[in-house]
Structure 1
Amino acid sequence: MTKTNIHIPGLAGLNAYTRTLSIDDVKICVSVEEAFTEAERCSEEKFYYRLGACPELCLGLFIENEDGSGSDKLIAHVIALRTHDTRITDGAVGMPCDWRSLDGEPVFVDGELIGNHKYGENIAIHSVAVSPEYQGKKVGRAFVRAYIEYLRGAVLIAHDYLVKFYEGAGFKNLGKSESTFAGGGWYDMD
């Protein structure tokens, strides 16, 4: 996997880089996801689904281990899937029950896409997570900007208190989301 070095002032003195994530990264992604409330966290099973469906849309921010042992530390990630919608729906944050036997074919329930649509022209960002020890250091903002450069044309849902953060990273607020995921209260961002 290709590593791309990244300079983030909040990580001064550390060698940071980004790379795409794969199913081999599930366990470390689960630990980073602990930055969210339990209701909002992606389960290990959903990580297997999402990283298996669209690894090219999922990016990790790592810090190199100084001893050169190769056990670099994942400190942030962006997890995304493809969709044909222009807004995040409850179905989009789900996953098909029998996803392992579907060969990636899109699943619709009552006309709503469930999870990934392999032919989707839009990107649904499901998670932007930064390990708590790196929050407040502008790591998230720099990483989201790096992700946008990596991949153009994404949509996501955000809490009201994060709208300004995402606007600062280049997203546009589309207003209140119809998604009721984890209790609702989201805003659609493009």
Structure 2
Amino acid sequence: MNVLKIRNVLPEDLDSVTEIESVCFPSAEAAKRNVFKDRISSFPEGFFVAELDNQIIGFINGGATNKKHIEDEFFENMNLHIPNGENIAIFGLDVHPDYQRNGYAKKLINHFITAAKNDGRIRVLLTCKEHLIKYYEQFGFINEGVSQSVHGGAKWYDMYLAF
């Protein structure tokens, strides 16, 4: 039986996470290689990969902020990242399509939430599309309605989980 291993990202994971992102998100929304390189070097403590048999099959990543909503610039670079920020924002939760519907995304998000609590964060922030609101509500996230985000030309909803 395969056991899922969740660990912090390493620089050598760059190609794997970039590839998974490209198959999980439309190109207008998917983070590019240089963006992941910036996230990995700036905040590996907020970037976790999931492995099965030493192969990365998914990941979750974010950045810290004192703001209560994610600004679109945060999806493009880490200039808004504040290492000791009171909130942590989830930029993306990806599981390769070949491994979806096995509970791996739940394990990743629960790991991220636990790490945020252990780091003393006050809230976890995210934006999601309407069809994912119920999914995130099962973890305790509260929907704040339509976001000001226009990332990738999509309609997003702001959600948060307060500790």
TM normalised by structure 1 equals 0.75
2:40 equivalent in structure 1: 51
CA distance in 1, matches of 2:27, 2:148: 21
Gaps of 5+ in 2: 118-122
2:139 equivalent in structure 1: 169
Equivalent pair of 2:18/2:31 in contact (CA under 8 Å): yes
2:120 equivalent in structure 1: none
Q: Judging changes above 3 Å, is the alpha-carbon distance between structure 1 residues 116 and 135 closer, same or farther for their aligned structure 2 residues? A: same
Specify which of 133, 154, 164 is matched with residue 98 of structure 2: 133
CA distance in 2, matches of 1:45, 1:119: 24
CA distance in 1, matches of 2:25, 2:11: 20
Equivalent pair of 1:145/1:170 in contact (CA under 8 Å): no
TM normalised by structure 2 equals 0.87
Gaps of 5+ in 1: 1-12, 65-71, 97-113
CA distance in 1, matches of 2:109, 2:93: 8
1:18-167 alignment, distance < 5 Å = 18-33=6-21, 34-64=23-53, 72-95=54-77, 114-152=79-117, 153-167=123-137
Instruction: Kindly indicate which of the two structures has a greater share of residues assigned to helix.
Output: 2
Letter of the structure 2 residue corresponding to residue 30 of structure 1:
T
Equivalent pair of 2:88/2:116 in contact (CA under 8 Å): no
CA distance in 1, matches of 2:157, 2:112: 20
The CA RMSD over aligned residues, in Å, is 1.5
CA distance in 1, matches of 2:102, 2:83: 35
Equivalent pair of 1:176/1:188 in contact (CA under 8 Å): yes
CA distance in 2, matches of 1:91, 1:119: 19
Q: What do the CA deviations read for 1:155-176 (whole angstroms, capped 9, x no partner)? A: 0110111111111123221211
CA distance in 1, matches of 2:7, 2:148: 32
CA distance in 2, matches of 1:115, 1:25: 23
**Runs of 4+ more than 3 Å apart:** none
Number of residue pairs the alignment of both structures matches: 154
CA distance in 1, matches of 2:40, 2:99: 23
Specify which of 127, 148, 154 is matched with residue 178 of structure 1: 148
Q: Which moved more, 1:149-158 or 1:128-137?
A: 149-158
Instruction: State the identity as a percent.
Output: 27
Equivalent pair of 2:62/2:89 in contact (CA under 8 Å): yes
Deviation at 1:115, TM superposition (A): 3.8
Letter of the structure 2 residue corresponding to residue 149 of structure 1:
T
